[in-house]
Amino acid sequence: MTEMVYGAIPARSGEPILPRWWRTIDKWSLSCVLLLFGVGILLGLASSPPLAARNGFEPFHYVQRQAVFGVAALITLFVTTLMTPQLVRRLAVLGFIGAFAALAMLPAFGTDFGKGAVRWYSLGFASVQPSEFLKPGFVVVAAWMMAASQDLNGPPGRSLSLGLTLAIVGLLAMQPDFGQACLVLFSWGVMYFVAGAPITLLVVLAVLVAGAGTFAYNASEHFARRIDGFLSPDLDPTTQLGYATNAIREGGFLGVGVGEGQVKQWLPDAHTDFIIAVAAEEYGLILVLCIIALYTTIVVRSLIRLMRERDPFIRLAGTGLACTFGVQAMINMGVAVRLLPAKGMTLPFVSYGGSSLIAGGIMVGMLLAFTRARPQGEIGDILLSRGR
């Protein structure tokens, strides 16, 4: 009946799956993801050999592992983009339940690898960070709840999603992982705003978040140390932020040259959290701007395509995924240039890390699945028809 009222774009009957996928996928965003992965391999070749030598591995040990994880992430992304939004939602619910359970059991079975925050499960040959896999599932589940609340006699989805968000934030704060907690809150806030939340409510929630941050500063030495280091006018040049800031300054516009950078010799996280410092030092501002442009293209193109979507669930879930992806990249780069306190957050598809790469493949795969062109009338058709 909906198609009879609003009109529908007929699907091509009998069209094979792969040609239909290629015709409907956002090719620009897909190309940007592949370019980001290529940049990650390039920067891994520059940043990881010193760390491999310190740990007694072959020079390109971490690059080879990143390539394996990256191929797995790209395969996951491709398979996810083939799914319908309904199948994505069902699998996301199952994945979220598993990731939430894993996150809840971290205090008992997790490890901190000497970093002061219990965020990982050690598998011996690798490690898993549940919060990375939780984010895409959470966005889809919260969007589903909010969209259901818009139905006639629907459930109180907004309130349920808020309760779920607070439970996740509480578990993340226990690790502590305030960076991921803030990202989860941001994701929920963006979707809540798109779903029609009043500005006053969002302001009240922002005040509550500020109060929670003040409490965390007073209660957590780990959190307070990072905030104090960020606010201090004197930057210790022997800290990770000090090395990263100096590397970015030394790189200038064109960089010091491929393989000539020194920051990778001193930064233990040069291949993960501070990989943008390696890019800035060796390749200069040009490569950094190219990386920013790739992330911006994915986010902006996804939001533009979602503006034409009339299914509220797809609009909310797609918006949450796009904004989460973009803000995570912004946080990582903001920490490196000391615009934000240290968060321990990776740069999607560029930083080394199995959990980050595969979870990023799931997230962007879901986003590309939601932004595929489908046989439906666009929301603009509805508005035009109502104005006649």
Q: In this structure, what are the phi and psi dihedrals at residue 120, rounded to the nearest 5 degrees?
A: -125, 155
- Alpha helices, DSSP H, located in the chain: 2-6, 17-24, 27-47, 49-54, 61-81, 85-104, 106-109, 130-149, 157-174, 178-194, 199-219, 221-231, 240-251, 263-266, 275-307, 312-336, 354-370, 379-387
Higher pLDDT, 182 or 318: 318
**Which residue type is seen at 136?**
P
Residue 128 reports pLDDT greater than 60: yes
**pLDDT 10s digits, 54-96:** 888 888 888 999 999 999 999 999 999 999 999 999 999 999 9
Q: What is the pLDDT of residue 234?
A: 65
- Cβ–Cβ contacts within 10 Å for residue 384, how many? 12
Q: Please name every residue paired with 111 in a beta bridge, in sequence order, or none if there are none.
A: 120
Handedness of CA 253, 256, 258, 261 (dihedral sign): negative
**pLDDT 10s digits, 4-46:** 333 444 456 567 888 999 999 999 999 999 999 999 999 998 8
Q: Which two tokens stand for residue 25?
A: 């996928």
Q: What is the pLDDT of residue 367?
A: 97
**pLDDT 10s digits, 226-267:** 777 666 666 666 677 777 888 888 888 888 888 778 888 777
User: CA-to-CA distance for 365 and 79, rounded, in angstroms?
Assistant: 8
pTM of the model: 0.88
